[in-house]
Amino acid sequence: MTKTGNILIIDDEEDILLSLKLFLSQHFEKVDTENNPNLIPRKLRNAKYDLILLDMNFRKGDTSGRDGIKWLKKILELDPDAHVILITAYADVKTAVEAVKAGAIDFVEKPWRNEKMLTTLLSAFKLSQSQKTIDRLEQKQKKIDEDRDQEFGTIIGESPAMQHIFELIDKVARTDANVLILGENGTGKEMVARAIHRQSKRQEASFVKVDLGAIPETLFESELFGHKKGAFTDAREDRMGRFEMASDGTLFLDEIGNLHLPLQAKLLSVLQNRTLTRLGANELITINIRLICATNMPLHDMVKEKTFRQDLLYRINTVEIQLPPLRDRVSDIPLFIQYFLKIYQKKYQKSNLQVDQSTIRSLQKYHWPGNIRELRHSVERAVILCDGSTLEINDFILQPDASPENTQGKPQTYNLEELERWAIRKVMTKHAGNISRAAEELGLTRATLYRKMSKYDL
């Protein structure tokens, strides 16, 4: 058996300290002893213990257990995560039970049997290690969330369209209302969802994102609602679903427009009842989430075409936020360029880079079919490729067939998907991003055009 763990034993009887140290040193890596409880604060300042064994009485003839309770509270005050086990005589068991309610993990009666003592300590040690693991995971998750929030950064914009969005975020964030965020790919839907979460009363709880477009239909229930061990072939252990993970926090369902009708019905049932059942289980689990959904698809048109449930749309869009494409907020483009330039100068260790005004004006004329995401990638490539201190238009790799100034760029291929991608880009450029006009010219419904744009990441 590998010895691990640090234990502190506090008792005023030297023979008890000696016998416990001899016995426990066989099983634990480090065993410290102390006969003077007044030195507990110093001990805890100098070392971190997995377990603390604490006697209940430290004055001759006293069996009240008051000293044990006093020092238990002091230990927990100094180290709220301490795992304290009490050593008590038979007559003090009632007091020991009260002490457990006050924060002790367990108690051992005098005289003890070594086997019973060891079993109690090992159980408490496992509990201590489990708690440390949970704490580490929580800290790691918090750091991941902080880093992710930092990656998504601050929503940028001074245009009138964005000022309206900021006002909506401020109003809705303070409520628990369900929010539906609509907008083309790359317009910052997830950034808005995170901004709402950060400004809400749930900001200290989890923000859980689910990309519904990336979950196979066969795994939908398992991913969202969880499953019990043995529920299906690969279910080797119980698993919590995304709804449970997000309980008390925010659940962000991205690409909700890609959800097929049968799955829409299952999602609606959970949202209506605020309860779910894990796959393969019978127990009802109550959930408490703030729901935010997003899509680049025309849900209102899809309702008319009966490809999206009207009752689900009502459920998810108490407040609807429509994000403008970048081409409708060109005055914000210089702000984005400077913001991304600062990020990538640091990342690629290139200092004092700048973009001249003629280049900025050219970039403002570009259609930006990929919106902010495309602009970000373009700035990153430009920083990597530039040779001088000034970024010029040739440093930015843009899509020629998406530019209003370029009517060429027909693909040299008969691949149907490439031709379809090219045609959609060309018609979208011709109609300045107007979905209805582009769909009419292409002979498609708005919903079909949205689906194809999502397929080709346009």
- The predicted-structure confidence for 60-109, as pLDDT tens digits, reads as follows 777 677 888 888 889 988 888 888 988 877 556 677 677 777 788 888 88
188 & 172 share domain: yes
pLDDT tens per residue, range 125-142: 888 888 777 766 666 566
Q: What number is the average pLDDT over the span 440-454?
A: 83
Residues 226 and 291 in one domain: yes
The pLDDT value recorded for residue 103 is 85
Q: State the average pLDDT for the chain.
A: 85
CATH number of the CATH domain containing 379 = 1.10.8.60
192 and 50 in a common domain: no
Q: Which domain holds residue 54?
A: 6-132
State the total domains in the chain.
4
Q: What's the CA angle centered on 214, arms 212 and 218, to 5 degrees?
A: 85
User: CA torsion sign, 12 to 18 to 20 to 24?
Assistant: positive
Residue 346 is assigned to a structural domain of this protein: yes
Specify the CATH number for the domain of residue 94.
3.40.50.2300
- Asked whether residue 344 falls in the same domain as residue 374, the answer is yes
The pLDDT score that the predictor gives to residue 443 is 87
Stretch 199-204: mean pLDDT, rounded? 92
* Pair 235, 277 in one domain: yes
pLDDT for res 92:
61
Which CATH number covers residue 213?
A: 3.40.50.300
Let me know whether 164 and 301 are in one domain: yes
Is 142 domain-assigned?
no
Which token pair is 9? 């034993």
Bridge partners for 181 per DSSP: 294, 321
Instruction: Tell whether 53 is covered by a domain.
Output: yes
Of the three residues 322, 340, 373, the one that is the final residue of a domain is 322
Residue 137 lies in a domain: no
Task: Note whether residue 146 is domain-resident.
Answer: no
SS3 of 240, please?
Answer: strand
What's the pLDDT tens digit per position in 288-318? 999 999 999 999 999 998 999 999 999 999 9
Q: Tokens for 24?
A: 């426990």
Note whether residue 1 is domain-resident. no
Residue 118 lies in a domain: yes
Examine residue 411 and say whether the peptide bond preceding it is cis (omega within 30 degrees of 0).
Answer: no
Between CA 287 and CA 251 the distance in angstroms is 11
- Whether 97 is in a domain gets the answer yes
Q: CA dihedral defined by 392, 369, 258, 194, rounded to 10 degrees?
A: 50
Q: Does pLDDT of 400 surpass 80?
A: no
44 with 125, same domain: the answer is: yes
Boundary (domain end) residue, out of 398, 413, 441: 398
22 and 114 within one domain: yes
Same domain, 184 and 124: no
293 forms bridges with which residues in the sheet?
A: 180, 253
CB-count exposure of residue 239 (10 Å: 0-12, 13-18, 19+):
middle
Is the Cβ–Cβ distance between 369 and 458 less than 8 Å? yes
CATH number for the domain harbouring residue 432: 1.10.10
- Check: CB of residue 274 under 8 Å from CB of residue 288: yes
Structure tokens at 448: 């079909």
pLDDT tens for 161-174 read 899 999 999 999 99
Instruction: Please tell me whether residues 302 and 171 are part of one structural domain.
Output: yes
For helices 14-24 and 114-152, angle between their N-to-C axes, nearest 10 degrees? 70
Q: For residue 178, what are the contacts with CB-CB under 8 A and spacing of at least 6? A: 290, 291, 292, 293, 315, 316, 317, 318, 319
Task: Indicate if 276 and 423 belong to the same structural domain.
Answer: no
How far from the centroid of its chain's Cα atoms is residue 81's Cα?
Answer: 25
Are residues 175 and 249 both part of a single domain?
A: yes
Give the integer Cα–Cα distance in Å for 85 and 82.
Answer: 10
Handedness of CA 65, 71, 74, 78 (dihedral sign): negative
Of 260, 288, 322, which residue constitutes the final position of a domain? 322
Q: Is the pTM of this model over 0.85?
A: no
Confidence of residue 405 (pLDDT cuts 50, 70, 90): very low
DSSP string, 51-91: EEEEES--STT--S-HHHHHHHHHHHHH-TT--EEEEEEGG
